[in-house]
DNA sequence: CGTCCACAGGAATGACGGGCGG
DNA sequence: CCGCCCGTCATTCCTGTGGACG
């Protein structure tokens, strides 16, 4: 077969003759539907709270929380977009700015994108935070706007950077003359309140809206709304739909998860050239998504993080299934030597382990061995085959996958 | 019942490449 | 070009600690 024929076949499945999808974009979670089922309550609350801006008054600050995939972002964007168009009818200058704090990353960049959104251009580095904040403030004040700032995934920023950003923002109104600012903070973490300065907390949560997880039935409804646009008639079995809803419901009622499952299941079915998505495709999709997540995560690691993973991998092979910090560092040191790289300090490796734990590649648990100290038991959360597969393709440390650390052969022992 | 191991993990600090305004 | 500040990564120094052992 000629190569172009292979390609033709591959393309065809995507373009012309898909018997599965009508419009798969609808299943992406950044797609904003016209209708948000089972969120009427929250839409109403949010709408009532921000309504005052239509009469030129500042609205209360709002604190929104709920787990991932419960519709917080969708509802907020939905309501605010509608508010903006309404405001035009009322001739009020209302603007909102949506910022995802986890993607934006630092206070500086948050202020920088705030500046951007009001048309003040700032360099992406080089200025002091105070300077950027001042520019934002003066720029905003001269624009005479009712400005609504949405800070999504705000917990990510606060846990790593503290609440200075929020403190500045909650006080900004005192320094504005002709503009007003309202804040909407969105958090996935209910315990976020504990991290906040009480002054910030009281200011931010003038209103609170809680998003409860969807149950399986609700997820089913959400999915079936989109299925009609996304899938061809009869291309999705009822069983597959229910399974997606059930699996996502089991995982804290995450609609995003449900949509992903549905989309990937469709893609799996498509690749198998079947005409209808069945439950088995959903099961397959589940594995597929997880595998992808892990591969991406592994690939994106820095050299030293990979070395840490590899060290645990080797300890694993030597029958140490739950390695402790000291052992890992020993192997890690040897691997660095093999590569001709200067090893990082144990302190640094310790935070790398914590980061890997947070991504979910590892599971780390602090334990005490009494007389024999206090340490961390660390276990891989990924199959060894997958690690071998990904790291063998790494041009720098590929060869270390087969390497046998000397420090392990010395005291080869059974462990648990 | 105190000791003391083997670390955890916080705080302060520094090196570095990038980019500003003047 | 300079002096300054940025974020990021890393080091150094440090205090804290659960519980088996003696």
Q: List domains and CATH numbers for chain A.
A: 40-211 (3.40.50.300), 214-298 (1.10.8.60), 301-408 (1.10.10.10)
Give the closest residue to A313 by CA, choosing from A375, A396, A397.
Answer: A397
Which nucleotide shows the minimum CA-to-C1' distance to residue A367?
A: C18
DSSP A201: H
Instruction: Report percent pLDDT > 70 for chain A.
Output: 92
Determine the protein residue whose CA lies at the shortest distance from the C1' of B6.
A373
Rounded to whole angstroms, the distance from the CA of residue A338 to the C1' of nucleotide C21 is 39
Query: What is the DSSP track for A136-182?
Result: HHHHHHHHT-EEEEEEETHHHHHHHH-SHHHHHHHHGGGG-SS-EEE
CB under 7 Å from strand B: A 123-127, 324-327, 346-347, 350, 353-354, 366, 369-376
Dump pLDDT digits (tens) for A26-80.
Answer: 888 788 888 889 999 999 999 999 999 998 888 999 999 899 889 999 999 999 9
Which segments within A171-230 are labelled E, that is strand?
180-187, 207-211
pTM higher than the cut 0.85? no
Count of CB atoms situated within 10 Å of the CB of A28: 12
- On whether the CB atoms of residues A45 and A212 are closer than 8 A, the answer is no
Average pLDDT estimate for A121-127: 69
pLDDT band at A415 (very low <50, low <70, confident <90, very high): very low
pLDDT of residue A333: 95
Contact A63/A200 with Cβ under 8 angstroms? no
Give protein residues whose Cβ lies within 7 A of nucleic acid chain C: A 105-109, 125-130, 302, 304, 342-345, 347-348, 368-374
Q: Give residue-wise pLDDT tens across range A251-306.
A: 889 999 999 999 999 999 988 888 899 999 999 999 999 999 999 899 889 999 99
pLDDT at residue A163 in the model: 73
3-class secondary structure, A56 = coil
Strands A362-368 and A323-324: unpaired
Query: How deeply is A388 buried, as exposed, middle or buried, from its count of CB atoms within 10 A (0-12, 13-18, 19+)?
Result: middle
Q: Using CB atoms within 10 Å of the CB of residue A167, give its burial: 0 to 12 exposed, 13 to 18 middle, 19+ buried.
A: middle
Is the model's pLDDT at A245 over the cut of 90? Answer: yes
The predicted structure's pLDDT at residue A129: 74
Contact status, residue A60 vs residue A207, Cβ threshold 8 Å: yes
For chain A, how big is the Rg over CA atoms in Å?
26
């Amino acid at each position: 077969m000629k190569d172009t024929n292979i390609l033709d076949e591959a393309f065809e499945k995507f373009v012309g003759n898909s018997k599965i999808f009508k419009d798969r974009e609808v299943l992406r979670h950044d797609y904003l539907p016209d209708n948000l089922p089972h969120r009427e309550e929250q839409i109403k609350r949010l709408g009532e709270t921000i309504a005052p801006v239509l009469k030129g008054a500042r609205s209360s600050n709002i604190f929104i929380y709920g787990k991932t995939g419960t519709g917080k972002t969708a509802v907020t964007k939905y309501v605010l977009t509608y508010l903006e168009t309404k405001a035009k009818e009322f001739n009020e200058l209302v603007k909102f700015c949506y910022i995802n704090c986890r993607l934006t990353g630092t206070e500086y960049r948050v202020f920088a994108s705030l500046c951007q959104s009001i048309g003040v251009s700032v360099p992406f580095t080089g200025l002091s935070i105070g300077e950027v904040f001042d520019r934002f403030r003066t720029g905003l004040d001269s624009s005479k706007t009712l400005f609504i700032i949405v800070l999504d995934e705000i917990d990510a920023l606060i846990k790593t950077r503290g609440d200075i950003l929020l403190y500045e923002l909650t006080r900004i109104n005192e320094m504005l003359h002709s503009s007003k600012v309202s804040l909407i903070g969105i958090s996935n973490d209910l315990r976020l309140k504990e991290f906040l300065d009480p002054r910030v907390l009281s200011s931010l949560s003038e209103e609170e809206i809680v998003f409860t997880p969807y149950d399986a039935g609700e997820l089913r409804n959400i999915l079936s709304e989109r299925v009609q646009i996304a899938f061809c008639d009869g291309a999705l079995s009822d069983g597959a739909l229910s399974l997606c809803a059930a699996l996502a419901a089991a995982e804290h009622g995450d609609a995003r998860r449900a949509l992903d499952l549905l989309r990937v299941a469709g893609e799996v079915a498509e690749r198998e050239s079947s005409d209808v998505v069945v439950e088995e495709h959903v099961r397959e999709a589940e594995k597929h998504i997880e595998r992808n997540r892990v591969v991406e995560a592994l690939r994106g690691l820095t050299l030293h993080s990979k070395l840490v993973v590899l060290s645990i991998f080797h300890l694993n092979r030597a029958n140490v299934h739950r390695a402790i910090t000291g052992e890992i560092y020993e192997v890690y040191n040897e691997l660095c030597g093999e590569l001709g790289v200067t090893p990082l300090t144990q302190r640094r490796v310790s935070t790398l382990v914590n980061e890997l734990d947070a991504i979910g590649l590892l599971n780390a648990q602090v334990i005490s061995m009494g007389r024999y100290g206090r340490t961390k038991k660390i276990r891989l959360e990924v199959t060894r085959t997958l690690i071998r597969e990904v790291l063998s393709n790494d041009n720098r440390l590929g060869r270390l996958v087969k390497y046998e650390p000397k420090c392990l052969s010395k005291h080869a022992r059974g462990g648990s």
